[in-house]
Amino acid sequence: MRIPPTLIGLMLLLSTGQLRLEAQLTEVPTTAPVGGWLWEIDVLSAAVDKRTPLNDGTHYRSTTMGSVLVSTGFNERWDVQFGFEIWREEKVYGSGLSHRDSGQGDAWLRTKWNFAGDEGSGPAWAVLPYIKLPLADHALGNDEFEPGLVLIFAHPVNAANQWHANLGLDVLNHGAGNRDMAIYGSTAFTRNCTDEMAIYAEFNGWVDAQDAQNWSGEIAAGMTYAFHERGWLDIALYLGLTTAAPDYTPVLRGGWQF
């Protein structure tokens, strides 16, 4: 799931009492609470790309405010999720160009099934099928439904550390029956520093099957802080490793469990 679309879908998990501390990239096997609601919000993210594959002096910036994911559990191993982008801006500038589009982004309907294990005590697995709903303003979306699937894995390294990994498949629709596949993966390592704070490192990669040479890769570092027994904030910085990836993307996230 690409929320926002310029990034690859990735998420991290920690535990502080009953609270799930999460950043919104590498997915985790644990599902949302039964009878409760988990709200996760990208308050602000801005992907800046100046080192483009063509190196033609054209720069890009993708800014998202209020990318929201709402989840609730049907049982202890199965939940349903709805994600949407409240506001997004795509800007192209440089080499005599200046173009800007902004408005509402797309939405996603997702469900997650934790089919094996418990990530708190041992290896755990889950699958997450989803479909993109083409609700974006015309200039920001392709007006096409796009399904995908993520395989999720997690394992505690020891009492203080956690490892997560994802492998995903995205079906891209270019209209008129023209479809191709994108494959993406990620891995993340989290260290609990205190009951309220954790730090993490992450890598993600994404490749379109029709343009494999221009694959995208990013590394990131971040910190998550629980300011309440039900709420947390997360700040992270992503750096592009390849010319197809954004050069850098600062992100401020938050979450609340009702």
Instruction: Give the pLDDT confidence of 155-205 residue by residue, as tens digits.
Output: 999 888 999 999 999 998 876 667 889 999 999 999 999 989 999 999 999
Q: Tell me, what CATH number does 41's domain have?
A: 2.40.160.40
- 86 alpha-carbon distance from chain centroid: 16
Going by pLDDT thresholds of 50, 70 and 90, the confidence category of residue 55 is: low
C-beta atoms surrounding 146 within 10 Å: 21
Residue 3: inside a domain: no
Average pLDDT, the chain: 86
Going by pLDDT thresholds of 50, 70 and 90, the confidence category of residue 54 is: low
Is residue 79 scored above 90 in pLDDT? yes
Residue 121: inside a domain: yes
3-state SS, residue 212: helix
Q: What does the CA dihedral 10, 49, 178, 128 come to, rounded to 10 degrees?
A: 0
pTM to 2 decimals? 0.86
Do 40 and 233 contact (CB within 8 A), yes or no? no
pLDDT single digits (tens) 13-31: 333 333 334 445 899 999 9
Residue 58: inside a domain: yes
- How far are the Cα atoms of 42, 101, 171 from residue 139, in angstroms, in the given order? 22, 6, 20
Residue 229: closest CA among 19, 2, 69? 19
Residue 182: closest CA among 217, 202, 203, 210? 210
> How far does the chain reach from its first CA to its final CA, in angstroms?
24
Residue 7: inside a domain: no
Is residue 86 scored above 60 in pLDDT? yes
Mean pLDDT of 48-76: 87
Domain that includes residue 53, residue range: 12-257
Mean pLDDT of 55-78: 90
Amino acid sitting at position 221: A
Computed from CA positions of residues 212, 44, 38, 226, in that sequence, does the dihedral angle turn out positive or negative? positive
Residue 1: inside a domain: no
The first and second tokens of residue 137, run together, are 């303003």
Domain count, the chain: 1
pLDDT single digits (tens) 139-160: 888 889 999 999 999 999 988 8
Lowest-pLDDT choice from 106-120, 163-177, 184-198, 209-223? 163-177
Residue 6: inside a domain: no
Residue 4: inside a domain: no
Residue 246: inside a domain: yes
3-state SS, residue 140: helix
In whole angstroms, give the CA distance from residue 119 to residue 188: 14
